[in-house]
Structure 1
Amino acid sequence: MRMGTDSDRPVGADGPVGADRPVGADGSAGTDGRGARGPVTRQERALAPDLARGVMLAFIALANAPLFLYDRPRGPRLHVIDTGLVDRIASFVVVTFVDGRAYPMFAALFGYGMVQLYRRQRASGSAEPAIRRVQVRRNLWLLVFGIVHAALLFPGDILGGYGLAGLFMLALLPVSDRGLLAWAAVCTVPVVVLGSTYGLATGGGGALVGALSTQDPWEAMSLRLADWLATTPFTALMVLLPMVLGLWAGRRRILDEPERHRVLLRRAAVAGLTLALAGGLPLDLVVVGVQPSSSVTVNLVYGALHTLTGVAGGLGYAALVGLLAARLQSRWARQALPGQRREVAPGRITTAVAACGERSLSCYLAQSVVFVLLFTPYAGGLGAHLGSAATAGVALLTWLAIVAGAGVLGRVGRRGPAEVLLRSLTYRAPRGNR
């Protein structure tokens, strides 16, 4: 199968297009000029992206929960400085396999999803201006969701950064594959420059940690907003690289048809996770106190290396989940009765995790609600007492509870509340169609 495209021709979100004739997902030209169609239906969803989002929400929980700890000094990547062996092992595992590895995977899936949205709209005959309006509205509303999330719950919000970066990504949808790779090279610069700062010990941690450790909830809100406003533009710059690579993957339907891309997925998983482990190890050893911090310059290099290889790790995780989805689909196909077009339903665990991924926005926000209630000094106050190991345990239990809840919603056919709201705001009918 030929997966590449002619790099000298303009490329739309779903492959090569002629300058005057946009092509939909089915190869037909979208010419009826209709407004945008509605959101994706459950029947149109692919297993691998949802399964990847569901799994990675566990990583998001493991990465975010330690930020809620307070009244202790912090080292690189804002991890508290642990003294107990079990806590140090937990920190090592999180920094090695989670920190800076989860958000690139979500960013790549975000770019991938933009291609899926574009392809569905073109296949239904929607006109280019209508598709662009949908994409713009979706990203602008993500910015709004982000600032509300930061104001009420968590200053380390990622939604605003995705929304801001997504607006820029709209300009890249018609760029050729060669142009995309050039942009990917350009986007490594902010990853290296900004990522290098993660190698520095940050003392008190600034507004982000202050917002999560203050006793006054109103002061916490002002600190959260200040941190969000200051950091969101930089977050957007950091997620551009995996988003561009996700767009490239979306053009090839790599996660829509993982069984047809096993070789590529296998290579991406092995290479990405190996790079993430090797590149993250120097900073990991500093975080847990095995290797002393030698100089600012060395720590900056460690931070840049950890962050850049984290992008490879995020893509490796996505590829690994794609391989899992391909294996599951092959198993279900073998279990189907010979000569009959019957699909075997996924197991309960797979269904629940995929349901969590399908409702990833609601589940992401739910994690923040739980962490605020448990950890902050004006609520549960556990952030002053738990170590890194216990905090990781709370994060995983939170994820499991949310997966169970998402599974229930999936079985009764209900969407997540945040998804319902975002879709109603994104796909509102144009005035002429009301």
Structure 2
Amino acid sequence: MDTQGGPTGLRERALGPDLARGFMLLFIALANSHYFVAGTAYFGGFPTGGSPLDRIVGTLIATFVDGRAFPMFGVLFGYGVARIVHRQREIGNDERRIRRLLRRRSLVLVVLGFAHAMLLYIGDILAAYGVLLFLGVVVLQWKDRWLFVVAAFVLILTALPSSQSLADGPDPSMLPASFLDQFSERITVQPMVAGLGWIGFVTPFLIGVWAGRRRILERPAEHVPLLRGTAVLGISIAVVGALPLSLVVGGVLARPGDHALTILGPLHDATGVFGGFGYAALLVLVAHRVGERPVTRAIAAVGQRSLTCYLSQSVVWAVVFTPYLLDLSNTLTTTTTAILAVATWLGTVLLADRMRRASYRGPFEVLIRRITYGRPAKLTSA
């Protein structure tokens, strides 16, 4: 018996979850890149006073992407953790061994996330997910009802009125003047991002664990009504909840007062969690309907190599926006930065598909699995 219990083989993987991860990285590229655009005033991470096209693009991103991409990441992360646990139990590993394996994985994410934030992008989420996984190991033995109770409780807490900074532009930790400043600025910011950022991902993570126990995303034919309902309701809630702020980004509505923002900001984020559920369900349904085709295989290849592709995006942001490199923050607009984000994602699709054709997993996927499972992973594993 293989007590190491390596990861699922590439040929055994379902299309739906990988397609969702692949598309998720497009949303993450759009969500991350606009924060680098320079301006004289800002709202919601966008410079105000741009061209009409900039305002339209900003409205679309604020409505459909911002605060909606990362919850989908959380759902898929929790789903993947649940599937790892299921596989380990199937091969006979006890709970102590499983917890040790997952905590090794969490440590890799924390260390890799720290390096990512210091060298490339301070908005790293890997370390936060590492912390979440380290703490979240305890929930893997919870009954389903406790997953839902805690998920709902945390969602309610995050939806409560709170002050948020919606008028800030790029700070020195994002756009450091020199390589030395980059470290001095980020060394104090990154621990806060990692230490507190995981809280906002608890709800989608717990729902992802529940879905992973039932293999809902891998067996969509058995759950079509649930997936359809989740897609329609989740995306609808996310869009409606985003409009009060996204219409301000677009210049349609005037900027609300500070008291109103303490309500609308958390509302935007909380409804985005439902959008994460909805997008994951929608993309799994698309995979079920379309099936294996060259385009879906290529995008799914991104999902299978999501860590490498995510870090590749950050290389582009660092080179393009860092002041001591190309320094294009004052040159690119909301629109041209969105075009850059889409082009970057398409580049990772081509790269991942080449890796798929060459039966190459991806360098960071190899690294994390080698450390997690304590031995080199075979080419047939994902």
TM-score range, shorter chain: over 0.9
Quote how far apart the aligned CAs of 1:197 are.
4.2
Correspondence for 1:315 among 251, 257, 277: 277
Cα-to-partner distance string for 1:411-430 (whole Å, 9 max, x where unaligned): 1100111111111111115x
Structure 2 residue 233 is the aligned partner of structure 1 residue 260: no
Aligned residue for 1:132?
A: 99
Looking at structure 1, the residues matched to 289 and 163 of structure 2 have their Cα atoms a distance apart, in angstroms, of 40
Of stretches 91-100 and 379-388 in structure 1, the one that deviates more from structure 2 is 379-388
Looking at structure 1, the residues matched to 264 and 10 of structure 2 have their Cα atoms a distance apart, in angstroms, of 43
Aligned residue for 2:352?
A: 406
Partners of 1:359 and 1:416 within 8 A in 2: yes
Structure 2 residue 249 is the aligned partner of structure 1 residue 287: yes
Q: Secondary structure at the match of 2:277?
A: helix
Partners of 1:36 and 1:130 within 8 A in 2: no
Partners of 1:151 and 1:222 within 8 A in 2: no
Instruction: Give the total of aligned pairs.
Output: 375
Aligned residue for 1:432?
A: none
Quote how far apart the aligned CAs of 1:226 are.
2.1
Structure 2 residue 48 is the aligned partner of structure 1 residue 51: no
Cα-to-partner distance string for 1:295-339 (whole Å, 9 max, x where unaligned): 21101111111101100001100000111111134xxxxxxxxxx
Partners of 1:196 and 1:305 within 8 A in 2: no
Quote how far apart the aligned CAs of 1:204 are.
4.6
Structure 2 residue 318 is the aligned partner of structure 1 residue 372: yes
Partners of 1:149 and 1:157 within 8 A in 2: yes
Q: Given the superposition, is the C-alpha separation of residues 381 and 266 from structure 1 closer, same or farther in structure 2, using an over 3 Å criterion? A: same
Quote how far apart the aligned CAs of 1:133 are.
0.9
Of structures 1 and 2, the one with the larger relative CO (CA 8 A, separation 6+) is 2
Correspondence for 2:10 among 26, 34, 42: 42
Looking at structure 2, the residues matched to 255 and 230 of structure 1 have their Cα atoms a distance apart, in angstroms, of 33
Looking at structure 1, the residues matched to 310 and 8 of structure 2 have their Cα atoms a distance apart, in angstroms, of 20
Quote how far apart the aligned CAs of 1:180 are.
1.1
Q: Which runs of 4+ in 1 moved over 6 A?
A: none
Partners of 1:35 and 1:127 within 8 A in 2: no
Looking at structure 2, the residues matched to 96 and 196 of structure 1 have their Cα atoms a distance apart, in angstroms, of 20
Q: Which letter does structure 1 place at the counterpart of 2:213?
A: R
Partners of 2:159 and 2:266 within 8 A in 1: yes
Query: Equivalent pairs: percent with the same residue?
Result: 42
Aligned residue for 1:61?
A: 29
Q: Given the superposition, is the C-alpha separation of residues 396 and 130 from structure 1 closer, same or farther in structure 2, using an over 3 Å criterion? A: same
Quote how far apart the aligned CAs of 1:221 are.
2.7
Structure 2 residue 130 is the aligned partner of structure 1 residue 155: no
Aligned residue for 1:178?
A: 145
Flag the structure with larger Rg.
1
Looking at structure 1, the residues matched to 202 and 47 of structure 2 have their Cα atoms a distance apart, in angstroms, of 29
Looking at structure 1, the residues matched to 49 and 201 of structure 2 have their Cα atoms a distance apart, in angstroms, of 30
Summarize the alignment of residues 17-416 of structure 1 with structure 2, pairs less than 5 Å apart.
Answer: 35-70=3-38, 72-76=40-44, 78-193=45-160, 196-198=162-164, 200-204=165-169, 209-329=171-291, 346-416=292-362
Partners of 1:190 and 1:238 within 8 A in 2: no
Looking at structure 2, the residues matched to 103 and 177 of structure 1 have their Cα atoms a distance apart, in angstroms, of 23
Looking at structure 2, the residues matched to 90 and 197 of structure 1 have their Cα atoms a distance apart, in angstroms, of 26
Cα-to-partner distance string for 1:130-154 (whole Å, 9 max, x where unaligned): 1111111001110111101000000
Q: Secondary structure at the match of 2:42?
A: coil
Partners of 1:75 and 1:81 within 8 A in 2: yes
**What is the TM-score normalised by the length of structure 2?**
0.94
Q: Which letter does structure 1 place at the counterpart of 2:221?
A: E
Partners of 1:184 and 1:245 within 8 A in 2: yes
Cα-to-partner distance string for 1:166-215 (whole Å, 9 max, x where unaligned): 1222111111111111111221144225x8544x433355xxx2123332
Q: Secondary structure at the match of 1:232?
A: helix
Cα-to-partner distance string for 1:230-272 (whole Å, 9 max, x where unaligned): 2222211000010001111111111010111111000000000
Looking at structure 2, the residues matched to 42 and 394 of structure 1 have their Cα atoms a distance apart, in angstroms, of 30
Looking at structure 2, the residues matched to 82 and 46 of structure 1 have their Cα atoms a distance apart, in angstroms, of 45
Looking at structure 2, the residues matched to 51 and 82 of structure 1 have their Cα atoms a distance apart, in angstroms, of 36
Looking at structure 2, the residues matched to 177 and 420 of structure 1 have their Cα atoms a distance apart, in angstroms, of 32
Cα-to-partner distance string for 1:358-394 (whole Å, 9 max, x where unaligned): 0000000000001111122111111111110010000
Q: Which letter does structure 2 place at the counterpart of 1:175?
A: W
Looking at structure 2, the residues matched to 170 and 110 of structure 1 have their Cα atoms a distance apart, in angstroms, of 13
Q: Which letter does structure 2 place at the counterpart of 1:319?
A: A
Q: Secondary structure at the match of 1:213?
A: coil
Q: Which letter does structure 2 place at the counterpart of 1:270?
A: V
Q: Given the superposition, is the C-alpha separation of residues 189 and 169 from structure 1 closer, same or farther in structure 2, using an over 3 Å criterion? A: same
Partners of 1:51 and 1:353 within 8 A in 2: yes
Quote how far apart the aligned CAs of 1:355 are.
0.3
Q: Which letter does structure 1 place at the counterpart of 2:46?
A: H
**What is the TM-score normalised by the length of structure 1?**
0.83
Looking at structure 2, the residues matched to 223 and 189 of structure 1 have their Cα atoms a distance apart, in angstroms, of 33
Gaps of 5+ in 1: 1-31, 330-345, 430-434
Partners of 1:51 and 1:350 within 8 A in 2: yes
